[in-house]
Amino acid sequence: MKTWVKILCIALLVYTIVGGFLLEVPRLNIVNESIRALYFHVPMWFGMIALFTVSLVYSILYLNKPAFKRDAFAVEFVHAGIVLNILGLTTGMIWANYTWGSPWHGDPKQNGAAIALLIYLAYFVLRGSIENEDQKARLSAVYNIFAYAAMIPLLFIIPRMTSSMHPGNGGNPGFNSYDLDSRMRLVFYPAVIGWTLLGVWIAILRVRVRFISEKLLNLEHD
């Protein structure tokens, strides 16, 4: 990653944390100050989808033309995506504990996110149970593409068909109508970019670690 991207990422996150806690927010019943969770909870999901999509692209590229580099990118973006998924679930649960009354409410979107976590954990189980490196990379790329296709209806279609308490689902209005007024947008969009960049940064660091250990392994063989 270029240095200016890293600086941008840190600046955006500092702004998110400072602005997210100090700037004015709309006064709404029940939600009150906890509306600030929007800056920390929602960007996790944007970031997760972005990272999983990058991983999907690298898996498709890998099947197109196998290369160690592409497989490394696919794996590590899933790793970072899983971290964001867990953080998103946790922040959601903390928020739900105070606003809905209990951490796990059986909301369709919450369940969908938990199942998405299971899908991608199974990806690592699959990788763990194949010994041949080429075969491991190819089969897990196939599963990654398949899992992504299975995850989309779970997160974006089924919650809209059932009664979900998330905005934009089950007849609830989306963010745009009243939740997210222009003051919140000022922090929300930078927060999305900042958290996504952080995820990409972590993933790229891990990819580089993977390259180095691969290089070391080759040196040992020589």
Binding residues for other proteins, rule: CB under 8 A, are 63, 115-116, 118-119, 122, 125-126, 129-132, 134-135, 138-139, 141-143, 145-147, 149-150, 153-154, 157-158, 161-162
Among residues 130 and 165, whose Cβ is nearest to other proteins? Answer: 130
C-alpha pair distances (Å), 99 with each of 10, 43, 65, 147, 165: 30, 19, 49, 32, 11
Q: What does the block give as tokens for 207? A: 């990819």
Among residues 116 and 198, whose Cβ is nearest to other proteins? Answer: 116
Dist. CA 22–CA 38, nearest whole Å: 14
Among residues 21 and 146, whose Cβ is nearest to other proteins? Answer: 146
> What DSSP character marks residue 102?
S
CB 152 → other proteins: shortest distance, Å? 8
CB 56 → other proteins: shortest distance, Å? 11
Among residues 146 and 211, whose Cβ is nearest to other proteins? Answer: 146
Among residues 93 and 158, whose Cβ is nearest to other proteins? Answer: 158
CB-side exposure of 175: number of CA atoms within 13 Å?
11
CB 116 → other proteins: shortest distance, Å? 8
CB 164 → other proteins: shortest distance, Å? 13
CB 172 → other proteins: shortest distance, Å? 18
Dist. CA 208–CA 218, nearest whole Å: 15
3-class SS letters over 166-195: CCCCCCCCCCCCCCCCHHHHHHHHHHHHHH
Residue with tokens 């197109």: 64
